[in-house]
Structure 1
Amino acid sequence: MRNATLKQLRALAAVVDTGTVTGAARKLNVTPPAVTMQVQLLEEHLGLPLLDRAGDRFQPSAAGREVLAAVSRVEAAIADCAAALDAMKGLKSGRVAVGLVSTAKYFVPSALGAFARLHPGIDVVLSVGNREEIIAALRGDAIDLAITGRPPVDMEVDKYPIGEHPHVIIAPTDHPLLGRRIAPAALASASFLVREPGSGTRGLMERFFQDAGIEPRIAMEIGSNETIKQAVMAGLGLAFLSAHTIAAEIADHRLATLDVEGLPVVRQWFVVKRTAKRQTPPAAALTEFLSRRGAEFLPEIRPA
């Protein structure tokens, strides 16, 4: 183990955590071949297989479980070291301004609460808006960090992955298309309730249907995910939303997801900063916290 790298260890842990090389690549924000190479290098170095295949998923071998236990201890030691260094940087006070797209409000406040308990002297100022508004605030330095599913491409930014961000089509629980696999074409005549222009969710929905060669029928534009959910429950139409926004309603059987080919569309949550903006210690600490632990606070997605 002496010459094993942290990159190799984290690649192995990500494959076991997600069950697939593709899932691990998304989690680590690298390519699947890069993950495979790191695991293979680690196996060659140790001289033992670390993964077993069970159906279409990977699970750790006996040797893999030993290595994962060591990885857990390494990550804990790194976290302890980071906490000690944070204290040395004077993280007993300060301020950090965070902007989040409205969909992120279903998990970010919990993450910020955990951060605040670790750093009670740091004030976190929170603003919520659609993607267009949050990116404009980031560009104008009105916020230090943005949390979004789609980082901007028209300015230089540093982005740090938080976790997977799936999108689905939701329906009332008595919808006739529930319970069977359908093609996107089956929704060509359906009425959709959509977010306003400038919303990242709206843009992702439009790209999904454009790729399927379909122009969805827009029944209403609604500027709130909560109102969209209530309207779908009332039978006013279908909606394309982040699965994180409807986790509670799915668990309570107040909404259902349609099984549509090509869905869920899985993106990533990112914490984003402008490359040219120098981070203060509080902003750097929050960036590190969200990229390392943010996935812990994502809502659990259960089948409808």
Structure 2
Amino acid sequence: MNYTLNQLQIFLKVSQTQSITKAAEELHLTQPAVSIQLKNFQDQFPIPLSEVVGRQLYITDFGKEVAVTAQKIIDEVQMLNQQTLAYKGKLVGKLKISAVSTGKYIMPYFLADFVSKHQGVELLLDVTNKAKVIESLKNNEVDFSLVSVLPHKLPIEKLELMQNKLYLVGNHQKIFKQKMYSQKIFEKLPLIYREQGSGTRYTMERFIEQKNLPVTKKMELTSNEAVKQAVIAGLGYSILPLIGIKNELLNQDLQIIPVKGFPIESIWHLIWLRSKNLTPVAQAYLHYIAQEKQKIIESKFSWYEGSLMPHKT
């Protein structure tokens, strides 16, 4: 047998996704390239590793055993690479972070230089809603979580990153001429909500409850991106984080409706379990953020305090 590490990685990904197309997407390869390597790998075994029933690909029992071995080999190779880097005095290991969906607009900027400087660090970043982020932290599946709403019952440590600002937004089909509207405007604007478990939804609902606003819920969608597109299409209005609508404001796909009491402000925090023993990689990242966060904010988010939005009243 003369299979390669690349073939092991491709077969492992195919076995995990049970799809050549999905495996190709996750590996950033073309579908034909994955198919060829999968065939070359299969040809080295007298027993089928996979089979196609209808249009669905299934991994055989023997293929599942090969996948387990492939994972062990890949893990050992990664460990060997990390040991080599550690021997050379370099920082090695995994950095695991979960982030709320709006975090995808800021977290990469707080990671790029750190990962670039430490080639031995493997980054695992999961972007999902607030409920799942907190669950992954609670289960000790990650080193850090990025949230804009702090959990109440979980013993955590926290580091403040930057402000999160939410505004009432709509498309440009309707002209809003007043410099500032009262909160009674919500009586006339059907609102589009995020799903339950979303930090944006939580912040939005808490504000509505505190102000006792007479809102009309139009629909519920499962991501800020979906909400944003629905607003652009004219299906309603919503309260969205400024960080995620910069381009749409500049392109005039969306407009901020100036309403008294806006923006709604919260803080993005990097949080971790108080009882967690941080790895050397996690400790190094925490030190990096504490030292560099202000420089990152000034260089990457200077527009955030600029003229894209009206001032709070």
TM-score of the alignment, normalized to the shorter chain, above 0.5 = yes
* Alignment match, 2:109: 110
Q: Is the 8 A contact 1:188 1:217 kept in 2?
A: yes
Flag the 1:91–1:179 CA change in 2: closer, same or farther, 3 A.
farther
* Alignment match, 1:141: 140
> Residue 303 of structure 1: which of 289, 304, 308 is its match?
308
Q: What residue identity is the alignment partner of 2:142?
A: I
* Alignment match, 1:130: 129
Return the alpha-carbon distance in structure 2 between the equivalents of residues 266 and 123 of structure 1: 33
SS in 2 for 1:182: coil
* Alignment match, 1:262: 261
| TM-score (norm: length of structure 1) | 0.67
Q: Is the 8 A contact 1:160 1:272 kept in 2?
A: yes
* Alignment match, 2:157: 158
Q: Is the 8 A contact 2:171 2:231 kept in 1?
A: yes
* Alignment match, 1:289: 288
Task: Give the drift of 1:299.
Answer: 7.2
Q: Is the 8 A contact 1:149 1:200 kept in 2?
A: yes
Return the alpha-carbon distance in structure 1 between the equivalents of residues 207 and 175 of structure 2: 22
Q: What residue identity is the alignment partner of 2:263?
A: P
Task: Give the drift of 1:179.
Answer: 4.3
Task: Give the drift of 1:152.
Answer: 1.0
Q: Is the 8 A contact 2:166 2:242 kept in 1?
A: yes
SS in 2 for 1:300: helix
Task: Give the drift of 1:183.
Answer: 1.3
Q: Give the length in aligned residue pairs.
A: 218
Q: Is the 8 A contact 1:91 1:122 kept in 2?
A: no
* Alignment match, 1:279: 278
Return the alpha-carbon distance in structure 1 between the equivalents of residues 302 and 98 of structure 2: 19
Larger radius of gyration: 2
Q: What residue identity is the alignment partner of 2:303?
A: E
Q: Is the 8 A contact 1:170 1:241 kept in 2?
A: yes
Flag the 1:174–1:300 CA change in 2: closer, same or farther, 3 A.
same
Residue identity (%) = 27
Give the superposed CA RMSD. 2.1
Return the alpha-carbon distance in structure 2 between the equivalents of residues 284 and 153 of structure 1: 24
Task: Give the drift of 1:200.
Answer: 0.8
Task: Give the drift of 1:115.
Answer: 1.5
Q: Is the 8 A contact 1:194 1:228 kept in 2?
A: yes
Q: Using CA pairs below 8 Å that are at least 6 residues apart, which structure has the higher relative contact order?
A: 1
Return the alpha-carbon distance in structure 2 between the equivalents of residues 203 and 161 of structure 1: 19
Q: What residue identity is the alignment partner of 1:212?
A: K
Return the alpha-carbon distance in structure 2 between the equivalents of residues 299 and 133 of structure 1: 30
Return the alpha-carbon distance in structure 1 between the equivalents of residues 173 and 180 of structure 2: 16
Task: Give the drift of 1:173.
Answer: 2.0
